[in-house]
A and B are shown apart, each in its own frame.
Chain A
Amino acid sequence: MLSYVLKRVLSSVPVMIVVAVVIFALLRLTPGDPAAVLAGNDATAEQLAKIRESLELDEPILVQLLTWFRNLLAGDLGESLLSGIPVVRMIGERVGPTLALAAGTISVTILVAIPMGIVAARRPGGVLDRMVMALSVLGFSVPIFVTGYVLIYLFALKLGWLPVQGYRPPGDGLWSFAQRLILPVLALSGVYVALVARITRSSIIEVLGEDYIRTARAKGAPERRILLRHALRNAAVPIVTIIGIGIASLITGVVVTESVFNLPGLGRLVVEAVLARDYPVIQGLILLFSFTYILINLVVDILYTVFDPRIRY
Chain B
Amino acid sequence: MTTQDRKTGPRRLLTGVAAAALSLVFVSAPASSETLRVVMQSGLRITDPIMTTAFITRDHGYMIYDTLLGVDSDFNIQPQMADWEVSDDDKTYTFTLRDDLKWHDGAAVTAEDAVASINRWAEIDSTAKPLMDMVDTIEIVDDKTFTVALKTPTTLLLAGLSKMSSRAPFIMPKRVAETPASQPIDEFTGSGPFVFVEDEFRPGVKVVYEKFEDYVPRDEPASWTAGGKDVKVDRVEWLTMPDQMTAVSALQSGEVDFIQQVPFDLLPLVENAPEITVDILDPLGAWTYFRMNWLHPPFDNKLVRQAAIAAVDQTAVMQALVGNPDYYQTCAAIMGCGNVNGDEYGRDWVVNAQLDKAKALLAEAGYDDTPVVIMAPTDLAMVVPQPIVIGDALRKAGFNVQMKMMDWQTLAAQQSNQDAPSQGGWNIFSTYSILATSGDPFGNTPLATDGRESWAGWPDVPEISALRIAYAKASSVDEQKQIAKKIQKIAVDEGVVGPLGQFRIPAAWNTQWSGFLESPITVFWNISKDG
Hey, which bits of chain A sit against chain B, CB under 8 A?
A: 31-33, 36-45, 47-48, 50-51, 53-54, 70-71, 73-77, 80, 82-97, 99-100, 149, 152-153, 156-157, 160, 163-166, 168-172, 259-262, 264, 268-269, 272, 275-277
- Let me know if B126 and A31 touch, CB within 8 A: no
What residues of chain B lie closer than 8 Å to A268, measured between beta carbons? 204, 242
Question: If A76-B12, A99-B24 touch, does A53 touch B53 (CB 8 Å cutoff)?
Answer: no
Q: Tell me whether A83 and B46 are in contact (CB under 8 A).
A: yes
Cβ–Cβ contact A152 & B53, under 8 A: no
Measured CA separation A169–B1 after assembly (Å): 38
List 16 other contacts, CB 8 Å, given A97-B23, A277-B413. A31-B410, A31-B413, A31-B414, A38-B51, A41-B53, A41-B445, A44-B416, A80-B203, A82-B46, A83-B45, A86-B16, A92-B19, A166-B250, A171-B27, A262-B239, A268-B242
Q: How far is the CB of A197 from chain B (nearest CB, A)?
A: 29
Contact B249 A157 (CB under 8 A): yes
Q: Check if B255 sits within 8 Å of A165, measured CB to CB.
A: yes
Decide yes or no: A165 and B16 within 8 Å by CB, A36-B416, A42-B53, A275-B379 being known contacts: no
Which B residues are in CB contact (< 8 Å) with A84?
Answer: 47, 184, 186
**A121 CA to B146 CA, complexed, in Å:** 85
Whether the Cβ atoms of A93 and B24 lie closer than 8 Å is no
Q: Let me know if A32 and B410 touch, CB within 8 A.
A: yes
> Quick check: is B9 within 8 A (CB to CB) of the other chain?
yes
Say whether A88 contacts B246, CB under 8 Å: no
Interface check B88, CB cutoff 8 A: no
User: B182's closest neighbor in chain A, by CB?
Assistant: A50
Residues of A within 8 A of B203 (CB): 80, 82-83, 85, 90
A275 and B407 contact, Cβ closer than 8 Å, known pairs A172-B27, A264-B206: yes
Q: A83 — nearest CB in chain B belongs to which residue? A: B203
Given A157-B252, A268-B204, CB of A170 within 8 Å of CB of B25: yes
Query: Can you list 26 pairs linking A and B with CB atoms under 8 Å apart?
Result: A36-B409, A38-B51, A40-B166, A42-B53, A42-B126, A44-B454, A74-B10, A76-B8, A76-B12, A88-B19, A89-B12, A91-B20, A92-B16, A92-B21, A153-B249, A156-B253, A157-B252, A163-B253, A164-B246, A164-B249, A164-B255, A165-B249, A166-B255, A260-B245, A260-B246, A262-B250
Residues A264 and B202 in contact in the complex (CB < 8 Å), given A51-B182, A74-B8: yes
Inter-chain CA distance A12–B289, complex, in Å, is 52
Contacts of B415 in A (CB 8 A): 36
Chain B residues in contact with chain A, CB under 8 A?
Answer: 1, 5-6, 8-10, 12-13, 15-28, 43, 45-47, 51-54, 124, 126, 166, 180, 182-184, 186, 202-206, 239, 241-243, 245-246, 249-250, 252-253, 255, 379, 406-410, 412-416, 418, 431, 433, 445, 453-455
A238 → chain B, closest Cβ, in Å?
31
Chain A: which residue is nearest B15 at the CB level? A89
- Quick one: closest B residue to A82, CB to CB? B45
Q: Is the CB of A89 within 8 A of B253?
A: no
Query: In the complex, how many residue pairs between chain A and chain B have their CB atoms under 8 Å apart?
Result: 210
B20 touches A96 (CB 8 A): yes
- Which residues of A lie under 8 Å from residue B204 when comparing CB positions? 264, 268-269, 272
CB distance from B228 to the nearest CB of A (A): 30
Look across to chain B and name the residue whose beta carbon is closest to the beta carbon of A78. B12
Residues of B close to A156: CB separation below 8 A:
249, 253
Q: How far is the CA of A96 from the CA of B27 in the complex (A)?
A: 12
Complex CA gap A36/B43 in Å reads 17
**Complex contact A83–B255 (CB within 8 A):** no
Q: Which of B9, B15, B53 contacts A92 (CB 8 A)?
A: B15
B246 engages A261 (CB within 8 Å): yes
Which among A42, A48, A87, A171 has the highest number of chain B CB atoms within 10 Å? Answer: A42
Distance, CA A262 to CA B412, complexed state (A):
27
A268-B242, A276-B409 given; A54·B180 CB < 8 A: yes
**Given that A41-B53, A75-B12, A84-B184 are known contacts, is A169 also in contact with B202, CB under 8 Å in the complex?**
no
Nearest Cβ in chain A — how far from B96, in angstroms?
32
Nearest CB of B to A59, in Å: 16
